[in-house]
C-alpha cells in the first residue's frame, strides 16, 4: 500500500486541471515537439556556376533536353529557342546538331496536348533544311499518322499541317516510304470520315465524337493537304523531272560519252538505298509495303481508294461554300491523275 | 484568374473511356471514330515496335490506353480487329523481356479479356502465356501469368470438362518436366497440376503422370514438389471440398433480412446470389458424386515408379538430397509399397543402417519401415529388422521414449506381417507389459493384444487370454500362413441378413400367418431356415433343447448381445457331440448369409440399410457399457492413410521424466491470467474507486482525518461540565430518533 500511494497520486494527476494564470504564456502541451533549427549555411546540391557563359552549342543541347519537360511553357520556350538558333545561324553553315539527333526529341511533340507547343513545333520544322528531312520521313510519318487520328481535333489539324509541310519538303519520299501511301491515305479517309458510303453523306452526323476544335475549318485544311498529298503521289510527273530522268538515262552531263549508266553503279546519294529490301525490319504486309513508283501507287489507289475519295469529293462539292471550293482542288488533282492513267 | 465557363457540350472531354461507353451502346454510329482509334493504335504500335526499349512515357501511356480501349470494344468490330489478338501475342512473345511492366500486364490482361469475348481460343492463350511463365525473370509477371493460366483453365472447365484443352495442357506440362530433368522449371508444372488437382479440375491419370515424372527428376526442388504432391495432394483436395461444403447460406434468413432492412439494389442482388447458390448446391446434390481416385491409386506402374525412385534418390550415392527430403521420398516409396503390395527387396536392407536411437528423426524411419511392410513381404526379410529394433531400442537400460517407439514400431510391422517376429522375441517383448514406465507398458500391451488376435499360439499360455485360449483349444483359429488371403466378403452382410430375417418374422406375425409363411416365391428356399429360426426364438428359454443356435449365433454376429442368457450357458455346458452340431449350424448360417450376396441382387435400398446397420454396430461397439471388445486401433485404419512418426512415438509423453516442481507450477499457471497480490474485497473496491477519482465514505474521511485537527475537540470533551455532557447526550439520542442530522424525509 505504501509504495502504491505514490502511483495513485500520479494517476490522480491526470485528472487535475492545469492552472492558467493571467499574464503568463500558456504551458506547452506534453506532446510538444520543438521543430526550430539553426544552421550556419545552406547547401544547394546542384548548382552550376561558371564564369564563362555556356556556348551556343551547349545551350542548344540543353534546350533540346528540355523538350521533354513537364510544363507546356518550358517546352514551348525551348522550341522557340531552337527555332531562332537554327534560323539565325549563318547561311550554309551546318545545324548545331544533326537532324537525326534533333528529330527523336521533336517527334513526341507532334502529339503534344498544348496548342502553343504544336504551333511552335511546326515553325521549327519549317526551318529545318528540306534535304535533311527527306531521310527521316519514315520516322516522322507514324507520329503524324497517330496525330491525324488523335481524339483531340486540334492535334488532328496540326498533324495535317505537319503532313502538308512534309509533302512540300520531301513529297517523293513521303509517299514512297514504307507504309507511307496506304496507311496515310487511310488516315485521311478516317479524318474526313469518308470510309463508308453512309458516313460520307452530308446528312450523316459528321465528326460525331469529341469537340470540333478551336482552330476553324479543319476540314478545309485537310482537303488541301489531301490534294497536295495526292499530287505528290499520283500526280502527273512534272516535265523537268521527267527530263532529268530521261537525261540521266541517256547520258549524264557529269559523265562524258563513253561512260553510260555509270550513275547506276555509283554509291547512292540517299541514306537508305536498300530500304526496300527490308533487311532488318519486320516482314511488311500490304499496307506497310513501300510503293516506290507512281505506277504502283496509282494501281493501289485506283483499286482501294478512288471510289471512296470520289464519293467524298462529290458530297463535299454538294455542300458548297468554302468546303466545295477546297474540294474542287482535290478533284482537279484527281482528274489530272486519272487522265494521266497508270503511267506512260 | 477567372475560370472560363464551359459549355455543356465542351465539358464532354473526348477521352477513350467516354468513347468506349458510347461504342458499347451504339457500335454502328461510332465506327468511324473507332477506325480512327484503330489507326492511332496502329501508328503507336509501329512507333513502339521500331524501338521497344526506348519508348517515351507519353507514348507508352497512349499505347496502353489504346490497347485497353480496343480490347474492350473489339467484339463490336470483329472485321477491323481481326489481327488485333495476334498483334498483342506477337508483341508479348517477342518483347516480354524489355516491355515496360505496366504495358506488359496490360497486354496479358487484354489477351485474357479477348479470350473472354471469344476473339481468341483458350488453347492459343495458354500457348502464349505458358512459355512466358517459365521463361520470364520477372516475379510479378510470373505471379500474374500463373494466376491467369489457372483461372483460364478453371473457366474452361467450369461448365463441362474440356478434355481436349486439358490433354494438351497436360502434355505441355509433361514435356516441360521430362525435357530437361535438371532444371527447376518443372516447378511450374507441379504448381499448376497441384492447384488443379486440389480443385478437382484435373483428376485423371495423366496429371498424376506429370507428377510422377517430376518426382523422378534430378532437381531437388522438383523432386520434393512431386513427392509432396503424392503425400499430401489428396488430403488437400478433401480439405478444400469440406471447406466448400461448409459455407452454408441460410436463404430464409436472407429473405427475412430483406423484408426488414433498407431495400437496396445491392442487397437484392446478394439475396439473389444466395438463392442461386443454394439452388446450385441442391442440383449438385442430385448429381452422382464423381469418383475421385487418389493420386496413389491412379499411378501407372507403381512398381517401376517406386523402384526408380528408390534407386535414383536413395540408393544412389550421387543424389544430394538432404535427410529431410530423403525421408519424404522414403515415405512415398514405403506408402506405395504398402498400398500396392510391391516388392522392393533392397529397400529393407536399406533400412538396416538407420535403425538406431541415435539416428536423427528415427521415428520417421520406423514409420516408413512399418508402412513398407505388408503381408506379402517374406518374413525372413523383416525378421532381422525387427530383431535389430528390439536390440537397439527395447531394453531395460534404454529410455522410456526409446523403448516405446521401438515397441510401437514392432507392433506396426507385425500388424501388417504377423510372421515377422520370432516366438521367443515376442514373448520377451510382451514381458515389458509389467514395466513401470507407462508408455512402455502401453506399447507392450498393444503388441500383446495384437498377437492375441493374429497369432495367439506364439504367446505364452498365461498371456493368451480367455477368448484366444478357448478358440485355440477349439481349433477355430489357424495361424495364417505366408501369402494366405482371406475370403472376400461384403462387410456387414451378416447384419443385413439378420435384419431381413427379423423383418420377415415381424411381418408374418402382424399378418397372423404362421411364421414360416412366405410372401414371396423366391424366398421359398429360405423357408425352412426362417421357420425354425422363429420357433427357436419363441421357445428358447422353455427347454434346454440343444439346437439353441440363434443365441449362439447372435453372439458371433454382434458382440453387443449380452452373453448372460441361461440357454447359451447351458449350451456351452453341453457335451462334445452337441457342440459339433452347433458348429454345423453355424457353418450353415454363414453359408446362408453369403448366399444373400450370391443369389440375390442387392438393391440400393439394401445397400443403404447395410451402411446404416454397419454404422449402428460400430456405434454400439463403442458404448461404455459394452462388454465386447472395442475394436483395436489397427483395424480401423484405412489402407490409404499414412502412418506418421507421431504414431510411432505414441504415448512417449507418458514415459517422460517427472517434471520438477517449478515446471509443474509453471504448467499450472499457464492458463491463468496474471493477477497482483492478494487483497481483501473491500480494499480492492476502495482502490478501484480511488483510481476512478470517486469520493470516499464519511467513515473513511473520519479515519483519515489529520490527528492534530481532532486534538482540539478531544481536549474540549474532557473539559465539559455535566450539563454540557447531558445536552450532548440528549442531542445524540434526539438525533437518533429523528434519523440523523437532516432528519427523516417527510417529517
CA-based nearest residue to A186, from B142, B495, B41: B41
Distance CA B511, CA B637 (A): 45
Task: Report the 10 Å Cβ neighbour count for B310.
Answer: 22
Contact A211 B10 (CB under 8 A): yes
Q: Tell me the nearest-neighbour CA distance from A4 into chain B, angstroms.
A: 10
Q: Are B370 and B643 in contact (CB under 8 A)?
A: yes
Minimal-distance CA residue of chain A relative to B23:
A209
Distance CA A187, CA B560 (A): 92
Residue in A10, A149, A272, A283 to test binding to B, most B beta-carbons within 10 Å: A149
Q: Tell me the nearest-neighbour CA distance from B623 into chain A, angstroms.
A: 58
Distance CA B277, CA B269 (A): 12
Residues of A in Cβ contact (< 8 Å) with B63? none
Residues of B in Cβ contact (< 8 Å) with A211? 9-10, 12, 14
Q: How confident is the model at residue A323 (pLDDT cuts 50, 70, 90)?
A: confident
In a domain, A91, yes or no: no
Residues of B in Cβ contact (< 8 Å) with A185? none
- pLDDT score, position B516: 54
In a domain, B162, yes or no: no
- pLDDT score, position B580: 54
Positive or negative, the CA dihedral A100, A103, A104, A107 is negative
- Can you tell me which residue has the cell 528529330? A103
Q: Tell me the nearest-neighbour CA distance from A217 into chain B, angstroms.
A: 18
Contact A282 B49 (CB under 8 A): yes
In a domain, A25, yes or no: no
- pLDDT score, position A205: 46
Contact A209 B19 (CB under 8 A): yes
> A169-209: per-residue pLDDT in tens?
887 888 888 778 888 888 888 888 777 665 555 444 444 44
In a domain, B550, yes or no: no
Contact A190 B16 (CB under 8 A): no
Q: Structural domain of residue B84, as residue ranges?
A: 12-120
Q: Is residue B31 less than 8 Å (CB to CB) from chain A? A: yes
In a domain, B192, yes or no: no
CA-based nearest residue to B144, from B135, B159, B133, B155: B133
Contact A151 B30 (CB under 8 A): no
- pLDDT score, position B15: 78
Residues of B in Cβ contact (< 8 Å) with A191? 36
Coil/strand/helix, residue B422: coil
Share of chain A above pLDDT 90, in %: 3
- pLDDT score, position B10: 44
Q: Are B111 and B75 in contact (CB under 8 A)?
A: no
| Nearest CB partner across the interface for B32, out of A8, A179, A193 | A193
Please say if the pLDDT value at position A340 is more than 90.
no
pTM of the model: 0.68
- pLDDT score, position B532: 45
Among B75, B102, B120, where does a domain finish?
Answer: B120
Residue in B18, B40, B43, B48 to test binding to A, most A beta-carbons within 10 Å: B43
Distance CA B523, CA B517 (A): 10
Q: Tell me the nearest-neighbour CA distance from A20 into chain B, angstroms.
A: 22
Total tally of structural domains belonging to chain B: 2
In a domain, B328, yes or no: yes
| Cell numbers given for B331 | 515415405
In a domain, B348, yes or no: yes
Distance CA B149, CA B317 (A): 39
Cα maximum dimension of chain B? 125
Minimal-distance CA residue of chain A relative to B13:
A210
> A90-137: per-residue pLDDT in tens?
877 888 888 888 888 888 888 888 889 999 999 998 888 888 888 888
In a domain, B507, yes or no: no
Residues of B in Cβ contact (< 8 Å) with A12? 693
Q: Structural domain of residue A327, as residue ranges?
A: 72-82+97-238+273-340
Q: Tell me the nearest-neighbour CA distance from B666 into chain A, angstroms.
A: 28
Residues of A in Cβ contact (< 8 Å) with B33? 208-210
Name every residue in A having a CB less than 8 A away from some CB of B: 8, 11-12, 15, 68, 107-108, 111, 139, 142-143, 145-146, 148-153, 179, 183, 186-187, 190-191, 193, 195-196, 199, 205, 208-211, 282, 288
In a domain, A8, yes or no: no
Segment among A41-45, A213-217, A234-238, B493-497 with least mean pLDDT: A213-217
pLDDT below 70 — which residues of chain B?
A: 1-14, 54-57, 244-249, 285-291, 477, 488-489, 513-597, 621-640, 651-659, 671-677, 744-747
Contact A151 B693 (CB under 8 A): no
ipTM: 0.74
Contact B30 A208 (CB under 8 A): yes
Total tally of structural domains belonging to chain A: 1
In a domain, A264, yes or no: no
- pLDDT score, position B91: 87
Q: Tell me the nearest-neighbour CA distance from A132 into chain B, angstroms.
A: 21
- pLDDT score, position B676: 63
The H-assigned helical ranges of B289-430 are 295-298, 302-309, 323-340, 345-352, 362-372, 379-393, 400-416, 423-430
In a domain, B412, yes or no: yes
- pLDDT score, position A131: 80
In a domain, B707, yes or no: no
Q: Is residue B44 less than 8 Å (CB to CB) from chain A? A: yes
| Nearest CB partner across the interface for A190, out of B16, B35, B693 | B35
- pLDDT score, position A303: 84
Q: Are B19 and B33 in contact (CB under 8 A)?
A: yes
Amino acid at each position: 500500500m505504501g509504495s502504491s500511494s505514490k502511483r495513485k497520486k500520479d494517476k490522480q494527476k491526470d485528472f487535475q486541471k492545469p492552472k492558467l494564470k493571467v499574464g503568463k504564456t500558456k504551458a506547452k502541451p506534453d506532446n510538444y515537439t520543438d521543430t526550430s533549427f539553426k544552421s550556419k549555411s545552406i547547401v544547394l546540391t546542384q548548382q552550376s556556376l561558371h564564369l564563362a557563359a555556356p556556348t551556343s552549342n551547349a545551350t542548344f543541347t540543353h534546350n533540346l533536353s528540355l523538350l521533354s519537360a513537364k510544363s507546356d511553357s518550358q517546352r514551348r520556350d525551348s522550341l522557340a529557342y531552337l527555332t531562332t538558333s537554327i534560323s539565325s545561324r549563318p547561311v550554309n553553315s551546318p545545324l548545331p546538331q544533326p537532324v537525326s539527333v534533333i528529330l527523336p526529341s521533336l517527334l513526341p511533340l507532334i502529339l503534344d496536348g498544348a496548342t502553343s507547343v504544336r504551333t511552335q513545333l511546326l515553325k521549327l520544322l519549317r526551318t529545318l533544311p528540306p534535304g535533311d528531312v527527306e531521310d527521316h520521313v519514315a520516322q516522322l510519318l507514324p507520329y503524324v499518322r497517330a496525330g491525324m487520328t488523335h481524339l483531340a481535333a486540334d492535334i488532328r489539324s496540326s498533324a495535317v499541317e505537319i503532313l502538308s509541310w512534309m509533302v512540300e519538303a520531301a513529297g517523293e519520299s513521303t509517299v514512297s516510304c514504307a507504309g507511307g501511301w496506304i496507311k496515310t491515305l487511310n488516315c485521311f479517309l478516317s479524318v474526313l470520315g469518308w470510309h463508308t458510303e453512309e458516313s460520307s453523306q452530308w446528312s450523316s452526323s459528321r465528326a460525331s465524337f469529341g469537340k470540333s476544335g478551336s482552330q476553324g475549318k479543319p476540314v478545309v485544311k485537310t482537303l488541301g493537304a489531301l490534294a497536295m498529298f495526292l499530287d505528290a503521289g499520283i500526280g502527273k510527273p512534272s516535265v523537268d523531272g521527267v527530263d532529268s530522268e530521261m537525261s540521266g538515262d541517256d547520258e549524264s552531263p557529269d559523265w562524258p560519252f563513253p561512260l553510260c549508266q555509270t550513275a547506276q553503279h555509283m554509291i547512292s546519294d540517299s541514306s537508305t538505298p536498300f530500304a526496300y529490301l527490308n533487311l532488318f525490319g519486320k516482314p511488311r504486309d500490304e499496307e506497310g509495303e513501300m510503293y516506290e513508283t507512281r505506277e504502283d501507287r496509282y494501281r493501289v489507289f485506283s483499286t482501294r481508294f478512288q471510289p471512296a475519295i470520289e464519293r467524298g469529293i462529290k458530297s463535299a462539292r454538294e455542300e458548297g461554300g468554302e468546303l466545295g471550293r477546297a474540294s474542287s482542288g482535290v478533284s482537279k488533282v484527281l482528274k489530272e491523275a486519272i487522265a494521266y492513267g497508270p503511267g506512260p | 484568374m477567372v475560370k472560363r465557363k464551359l459549355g455543356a457540350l465542351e465539358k464532354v472531354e473526348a477521352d477513350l473511356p467516354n468513347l468506349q461507353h458510347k461504342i458499347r451502346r451504339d457500335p454502328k454510329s461510332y465506327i468511324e471514330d473507332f477506325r480512327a482509334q484503330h489507326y492511332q493504335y496502329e501508328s503507336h504500335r509501329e512507333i513502339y515496335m521500331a524501338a521497344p526499349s526506348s519508348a517515351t512515357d507519353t507514348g507508352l501511356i497512349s499505347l496502353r490506353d489504346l490497347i485497353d480501349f480496343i480490347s474492350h470494344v473489339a467484339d463490336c468490330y470483329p472485321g477491323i480487329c481481326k489481327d488485333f489478338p495476334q498483334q498483342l501475342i506477337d508483341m508479348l512473345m517477342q518483347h516480354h523481356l524489355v516491355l515496360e511492366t505496366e504495358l506488359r500486364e496490360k497486354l496479358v490482361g487484354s489477351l485474357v479479356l479477348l479470350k473472354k469475348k471469344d476473339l481468341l481460343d483458350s488453347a492459343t492463350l495458354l500457348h502464349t502465356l505458358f512459355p512466358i511463365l517459365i521463361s520470364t525473370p520477372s516475379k510479378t509477371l510470373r505471379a500474374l501469368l500463373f494466376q491467369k493460366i489457372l483461372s483460364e483453365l478453371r473457366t474452361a472447365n467450369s461448365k463441362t470438362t474440356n478434355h481436349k484443352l486439358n490433354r494438351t495442357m497436360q502434355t505441355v506440362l509433361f514435356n516441360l518436366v521430362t525435357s530437361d530433368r535438371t532444371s527447376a522449371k518443372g516447378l511450374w508444372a507441379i504448381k499448376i497440376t497441384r492447384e488443379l488437382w486440389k480443385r478437382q479440375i484435373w483428376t485423371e491419370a495423366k496429371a498424376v503422370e506429370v507428377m510422377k515424372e517430376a518426382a523422378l527428376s534430378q532437381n531437388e526442388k522438383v523432386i520434393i514438389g512431386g513427392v509432396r504432391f503424392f503425400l499430401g495432394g489428396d488430403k488437400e483436395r478433401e480439405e478444400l471440398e469440406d471447406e466448400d461444403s461448409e459455407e452454408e447460406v441460410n436463404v430464409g434468413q436472407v429473405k427475412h433480412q430483406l423484408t426488414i432492412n433498407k431495400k437496396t439494389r445491392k442487397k437484392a442482388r446478394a439475396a439473389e446470389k444466395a438463392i442461386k447458390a443454394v439452388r446450385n448446391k441442391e442440383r449438385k446434390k442430385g448429381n452422382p458424386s464423381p469418383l475421385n481416385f487418389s493420386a496413389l491409386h491412379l499411378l501407372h506402374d507403381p512398381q517401376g515408379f517406386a523402384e526408380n525412385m528408390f534407386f535414383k534418390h536413395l540408393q544412389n550415392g550421387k543424389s544430394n538430397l538432404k535427410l529431410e527430403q530423403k525421408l519424404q521420398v522414403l515415405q512415398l516409396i514405403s506408402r506405395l509399397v504398402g498400398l500396392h503390395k510391391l516388392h522392393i527387396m533392397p529397400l529393407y536392407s536399406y533400412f538396416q543402417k538407420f535403425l538406431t536411437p541415435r539416428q536423427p528423426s528415427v521415428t520417421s524411419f520406423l514409420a516408413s519401415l512399418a508402412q513398407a511392410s505388408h503381408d506379402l513381404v517374406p518374413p525372413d526379410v523383416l525378421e532381422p529388422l525387427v530383431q535389430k529394433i528390439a536390440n537397439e531400442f527395447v531394453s531395460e537400460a534404454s529410455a522410456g521414449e526409446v523403448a516405446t517407439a521401438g515397441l510401437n514400431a514392432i507392433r506396426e510391422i507385425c500388424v501388417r506381417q504377423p510372421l515377422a517376429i520370432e516366438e521367443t522375441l515376442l514373448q520377451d517383448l510382451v514381458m515389458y507389459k509389467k514395466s513401470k514406465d507407462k508408455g512402455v507398458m502401453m506399447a507392450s500391451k498393444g503388441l500383446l493384444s495384437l498377437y492375441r488376435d493374429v497369432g495367439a499360439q506364439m504367446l505364452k499360455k498365461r498371456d493368451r487370454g480367455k477368448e484366444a485360449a478357448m478358440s485355440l483349444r477349439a481349433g477355430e483359429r489357424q495361424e495364417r500362413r505366408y501369402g494366405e488371403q482371406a475370403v472376400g466378403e461384403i462387410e456387414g452382410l451378416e447384419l443385413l441378413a439378420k435384419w431381413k430375417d427379423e423383418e420377415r418374422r415381424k411381418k408374418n406375425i402382424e399378418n397372423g400367418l404362421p411364421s414360416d409363411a412366405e410372401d414371396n416365391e423366391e424366398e421359398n428356399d429360405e423357408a425352412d431356415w426362417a421357420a425354425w429360426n422363429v420357433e427357436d426364438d419363441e421357445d428358447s428359454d422353455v427347454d434346454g433343447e440343444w439346437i439353441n443356435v440363434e443365441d449362439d449365433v447372435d453372439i458371433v454376429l454382434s458382440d453387443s448381445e449380452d452373453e448372460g442368457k441361461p440357454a447359451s450357458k447351458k449350451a456351452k455346458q453341453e457335451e462334445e457331440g452337441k457342440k459339433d452340431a452347433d458348429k454345423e449350424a453355424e457353418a450353415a448360417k454363414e453359408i446362408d448369409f453369403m448366399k444373400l450376396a450370391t443369389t440375390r441382387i442387392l438393391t440400393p435400398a439394401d445397400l443403404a440399410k447395410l451402411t446404416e446397420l454397419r454404422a449402428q454396430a460400430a456405434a454400439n461397439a463403442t458404448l461404455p457399457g459394452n462388454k465386447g471388445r472395442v475394436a483395436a486401433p489397427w483395424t480401423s485404419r484405412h489402407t490409404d492413410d499414412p502412418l506418421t512418426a507421431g504414431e510411432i512415438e505414441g504415448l512417449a509423453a507418458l514415459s517422460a521424466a517427472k517434471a520438477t516442481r517449478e515446471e509443474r507450477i509453471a504448467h499450472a499457471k499457464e492458463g491463468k491470467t496474471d493477477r497482483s497480490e492478494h487483497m481483501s474485497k473491500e480494499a480492492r473496491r476502495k482502490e478501484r474507486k480511488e483510481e476512478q477519482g470517486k469520493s470516499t465514505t464519511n467513515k473513511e474521511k473520519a479515519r483519515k482525518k489529520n490527528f492534530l485537527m481532532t486534538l482540539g475537540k478531544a481536549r474540549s470533551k474532557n473539559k465539559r461540565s455535566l450539563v454540557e455532557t447531558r445536552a450532548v447526550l440528549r442531542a445524540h439520542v434526539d438525533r437518533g430518533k429523528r434519523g440523523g442530522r437532516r432528519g427523516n424525509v417527510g417529517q
